[in-house]
Structures are given as structure tokens and as C-alpha cells.
Amino acid sequence: MKAPALKIVVTVKLVPDPNAVRRIDPATKRLVRTGVDTALNPFDEYAIEAALQLKERLGPETTVTIFTMARESMKESLRKALAMGADDAVMLSDPALEGSDVSLTSYAMAQALKKVGFDVILSGALSDDGNTGGVPGALAEYLGVPGLTNVRKIEEIGDGRIKAQRETDTGYQVVTGPLPALVTVTMAVGEPRYASLKGIMGAKKKTIEILSAADAGIDRPLGSDGAKMEVVAIAAPKSREKARVVEAADGASGAQAIFDFLRERKLV
Amino acid sequence: MRDVIVFVEHSGGQTRKVTFELAAEARRLADALGGKAHAVVAGSGAAALAQQLQNHPLDKIHYTDDPDVDKYLLDPFVDYLEAVAKMTGPSVVLVPNTMLGRDIAGRIAARLNAGLASDVTELRVENGRVQCVAPKLQGSTITTCAFKAGDYGVITVRPNAFSAAPKSMGAEVLSIEKPPGKSYKMAVESDVEEASGELGLEEAPVVVSGGRGLGGPQPFETLLKPLADALGGAVGASRAAADAGWVPYSLQIGQTGKIVSPQLYLAVGISGAIQHKVGMQTAGTIVAINRDGTVPIGETADLLVVGDLFQIVPALTALVQKAKAAHA
């Protein structure tokens, strides 16, 4: 029996290159995103991997669309996802959206995703820069679809149903529910694949559609006007003193050095 | 924004320790804002847990033992939390920064059209506005955010960042009515335990963490577990160890895993890449054992002992056990 085709949308965040030094502009108190290379949020690459695995399982009629909200100038950073094997991409891009907080970002993304359409949305469980982890939950709420978080394995999908294993603090749960749904995946889905040379060449011809806030039907105050929070101060963290280094000649002396140190600090 | 609401996380009939930290902080904030401190506890055993919470400085404890909370994923929790938040009016919702808490936080923020502050380690009230201090960008920057007055605000709070302050204030225990017209879709079919006893990794006062230097899964059981037990702590791991399949990802500490802030963090055979540092750099005291004296963990640790972990760890375990026995 042929598996039914699905429309999969992977939401990704474009973050400053994880290998670059990141800083916050003291005037705007926003992350400096210009003049810094942009990359896919490393967690989201796992979501792309999970989506491509589903496409392989379900057949070529299943499509994988990459979705992001970012500046149009970051468009080319999406080519990596297309080179990995996604079919196309959609960007919600509007200068008015800059400075949006978690709530507004999620709302705006939800409006655009309703236009794009989907059977399942896949995303990474956290972002590499803001580290809030709040967007997927808020997105599911604004879309009015069930959320299935921290998935490590999709056991069954299709015919309007999903069955998956999700990680918990103590192990995992098996959860079933209807589609459409929003699914966040953990790193246990498997290492993101590398783009092949053919994939890289092919990605150049794939479409990246740009949606403005108006295209997406966003009707709330945007950017920092619509945001519910503001950054009032930024500071450097307290720096720690460099470690005291002890060369242990043997196990006993190493253990004694630690034990004495813990005693000194009243930790044992 | 006057009242403060604590989401109570519990498992296996036990309230998670972070809840008590949140209760103490809720009291402090509510007093500064001139409001009340509430707790919401939902799920199997909630009535008994609500009674226990009376030993903490709260004004009202709302509970429900609706079986749907355990049968369905997340939504029932959010519904009950929303019901209480709507009752109190614009308020601050405190949620632990745990796997469950993060899932709840995004949802309740959307329901209440609220701002969301994440992984907060310090809270203040200035001119009637709640300010949240949180490390960002891999701990390289500390940001302070403020909610707009008159709105709801949702905050995920880092476990171990605040201290519990048990005190009975004769809190009222109230049952929450089931919100009308709710039907749930994501059904939990089974719950499987894999790493029992590690629930408290984010809350443990001591974390003994192992990395690539352990060379395989066995030393986690034979070396680290006895030391963690002796110190009254939990076992954690670096990403390298989780990626190698030596331990489940639920034990992984770091940017892509759990963020911990224990009084004592012992890094055993972990080089301490930035990825790992993000997950443990706010620990009170950091001790590292490594055979290489030039590893990056030396930048973060208070004490770095250079030597053979396979000899040092059992000897240390014996010393701690002996000291405990002498004390008992």
C-alpha cells in the first residue's frame, strides 16, 4: 500500500554563526545580526533531518518546505536546507517585525504558516541564540493545532494520525494524536545529513518565496510596539577566577586534594 | 500585575524541589507587588500535594485531580493554569525551566497574550514592574527584561537559582473547576522509565558529570554513580558521552541538553567546550578531573586535578563515604 503524501513544513531560525562572537548592541539592546554570518539554528537541522527521513519513508509526493521569519538579506542562508533536500522555502520578512518578542514572533509565524498550509510542522526544540524554547508551544496555540514536543522517533504518520515517542525527564512516552500537528524533535532523531554536491547545485534553482506581514495577514501592532517585554539592561557576567591546578601523582593524592578543597568550601 | 502564580511540577507523587523555590520567590514578588501568591497543582495525587504545599508561603493553592491531565499531553495543564490566571487578572506566572515547564510556558504565554522571559536567575520589582535577569548568548551576556505593566507575564525560572523558604501561612486549598468545552487530542499511550532516579538532575545540589574520558558506559555506573550517591547528587554527562550512546540524552548537560546550577559540579573526563560550559557555568563550585592540564574546563573550574580519573574517583568516593560514616 502506498503511504499517503504529506505536506511537511520545517520552521527554522537563522542565528548568528555559532562559531562567531556574538554581541548585543548597547543602544538597541538587540542581538547584532548585521555583519555577522548567519547560519541555521543547529537544533533545527535535526528537524530538517527528521523531515527528510519522513519524505524518504513516504515517497516523493511528500514535500518538505522550509519556513523562517528573518530579514530578506538572510535569504541565502536557507540554501543549505534546500541543499540537504528540502523542496522549497518560504520567508516571512518585513522590517516592521524586527524587535518582536516570543509572543509576537509566534503569532506572526502562525499567521504566515496558515497561508502556507501544512499537515505537520517540524521544528527543533530550542534555539541556539535566544534559548527561550517558548516559540513552538506558543506557535501551536496560535495555530490551534496540538503540539507534540521533544520527539525522538516518529513511529507512524499518515491518514491524519501521528504516533511518536517523546522524551521525558525519566524516559519516554508514546503519544498518539491527529494531524495537522506541530512536532518538535530532539537530537535523537539522527545527525543532520550533509548536502551532496548534486544537492548544492540543485538548491540554486529551488524557490524561496518572500511573504510580507501584510501578505501573511498580520493585523497586530508589530515589532517592539507589539512586544510585551523590553530589555532594560545588559551586562557582562561575573568572571570566574582561573582554576587552581593540582597535578596528582596518584589516585589517593588526587582524591585528597579534591576532598580537602570540598572541606574548605564546606561541601562535604 | 499584582498576583503571582506558581505552576507546580510533580512526578510520582512528589513535588519537584524547584516548586518550593518558586513558591518562596512568588511570596517575595507578591509582597512587593501588593498581591497574592498562588499555586496551581494538577494531575494524579494533586489533592495530597496541595496539602503539602501549605507548608510553603502561599496564599491560595488551586488543585485538580482530573485524570485527563495524565492521559493527555500538556493541554489540560495549560487549561487549568489559564483558568486560575484569568481568575486573578493580569499576573505573573512562574514556571520551572524544565522540559515540562518550557512546553507549558510558550503555550500559557500565547493564551494570556503575555511576554515570556526564559531561564531567569534573578527577579526584581522596580516601580511596580517585574524585572527578570537571565544569562543569554551562552552565558556571555546578562540581560534584564521588564514586562509592560498591566499585562500578564510568564517566566521560566532556572532550578537552584532561588532558595526554598518553607513557612506555613495557612494557605487556602481550593479545587479548580474543569474549564467547559474542552476536548483533548494528544493521548499518552504509555510512559516508559529509562533513567530512573535522574529526575532531579536540574535540581540536584551536586552533579557528577562524565565525558569522553570515561571511555564507555560502564564507568558511569561503576565510578560516577557511587560518588554521586555519596555526595547526595545526580549523574550527568557531556554531549560526547550522550552522542556515543553511553548514557541517554536525558542526562546530557550543556547548551543542547540540560542547564544545571548545583552547589557543586564535578566534571570527570570532560574537556569543557563552550557547548558544555553553557550548561554548568553558574554552579557554585566547579571541580574538574582530567588527564590533560590544558583543557578548556580549566577556564571555568575552581579546581582542576590533573590525573587518572579511574584512580581518583574511587578514592574520592571512599573518602566521602568515610567522612559521612564518621559524621553519622
Sign of CA dihedral A76, A54, B74, A221: positive
Q: Quick one: pLDDT at residue B133?
A: 94
Query: What is the pLDDT of chain B when averaged over all its residues?
Result: 92
Determine how many CB atoms are found less than 10 A away from the CB of residue A209.
Answer: 13
Confidence class for position A2, pLDDT limits 50, 70, 90: low
Task: Indicate the residue of A106, A132, A245 with minimum beta-carbon distance to B110.
Answer: A106
pLDDT at B196 over 60: no
- Residues of B with Cβ-Cβ distance to A136 under 8 angstroms: 106
Q: Quick one: pLDDT at residue B169?
A: 92
Q: Quick one: pLDDT at residue A129?
A: 55
Q: Could you confirm whether domain B206-327 is CATH 3.40.50.1220?
A: yes
pLDDT in tens, A103-154: 888 999 999 999 999 999 999 877 655 556 788 999 999 999 999 999 999 9
pLDDT at B128 over 90: no
Q: Quick one: pLDDT at residue B296?
A: 92
Confidence class for position A240, pLDDT limits 50, 70, 90: confident
Percent of chain A with pLDDT over 90: 59
**Same fold yes or no, B3-175 and B206-327:** yes
Q: Quick one: pLDDT at residue A7?
A: 97
pLDDT in tens, A117-126: 999 999 987 7
In angstroms, what separates the C-alpha of A17 from chain B's closest C-alpha? 12
- Residues of B with Cβ-Cβ distance to A22 under 8 angstroms: 137-138, 140
- Residues of B with Cβ-Cβ distance to A178 under 8 angstroms: 185
Q: In b/e form, how buried is each residue of A45-70, taking b as 16+ CB within 10 angstroms?
A: bbbbbbbbebbeebeeebbbbbbbbb
In angstroms, what separates the C-alpha of A24 from chain B's closest C-alpha? 8
Q: Quick one: pLDDT at residue B51?
A: 96
In angstroms, what separates the C-alpha of B271 from chain A's closest C-alpha? 14
pLDDT at B69 over 70: yes
Of the listed ranges A142-156, A187-201, A222-236, B204-218, the least confidently predicted one is: A222-236
Which helix or strand (DSSP H or E) is residue B142 part of? strand B141-147
Contact B298 A250 (CB under 8 A): no
Contacts of B252 (CB under 8 A, 6+ apart): B236, B237, B238, B239, B241, B242, B258
Phi, then psi, of B244 in degrees rounded to 5: -75, -5
Task: Indicate the residue of A107, A166, A259 with minimum beta-carbon distance to B316.
Answer: A259
Contact B249 A187 (CB under 8 A): yes
- Residues of B with Cβ-Cβ distance to A130 under 8 angstroms: 118, 136
- Residues of B with Cβ-Cβ distance to A248 under 8 angstroms: 305-308, 312
Of the listed ranges B84-98, B137-151, B192-206, the least confidently predicted one is: B192-206
pLDDT at B195 over 70: no
Taking alpha carbons only, the member of A32, A26, A85 closest to residue A54 is A85
pLDDT at A198 over 70: yes
3-class secondary-structure state, position A219: coil
Contact B103 A137 (CB under 8 A): yes
In angstroms, what separates the C-alpha of A18 from chain B's closest C-alpha? 10
Query: Where exactly are the structural domains of chain A?
Result: 7-226
Task: Indicate the residue of B116, B144, B281 with minimum beta-carbon distance to A134.
Answer: B116
Average pLDDT over residues B45-68: 96
- Residues of A with Cβ-Cβ distance to B131 under 8 angstroms: 232
Pairing of strands A171-178, A161-167: antiparallel
- Fold designation for A7-226: Rossmann fold (3.40.50)
Query: Where exactly are the structural domains of chain B?
Result: 3-175, 206-327
Q: Quick one: pLDDT at residue A131?
A: 54
Residue A260 near residue B321 (C-beta atoms within 8 A): no
Contact A250 B118 (CB under 8 A): no
pLDDT at B198 over 60: no
Match domain B3-175 to its CATH number in 2.40.33.20, 3.40.50.620, 3.40.50.1000, 3.30.465.10: 3.40.50.620
Contact A130 B117 (CB under 8 A): no
C-alpha distance from residue B77 to each of A142, B10, B29 (Å): 17, 12, 23
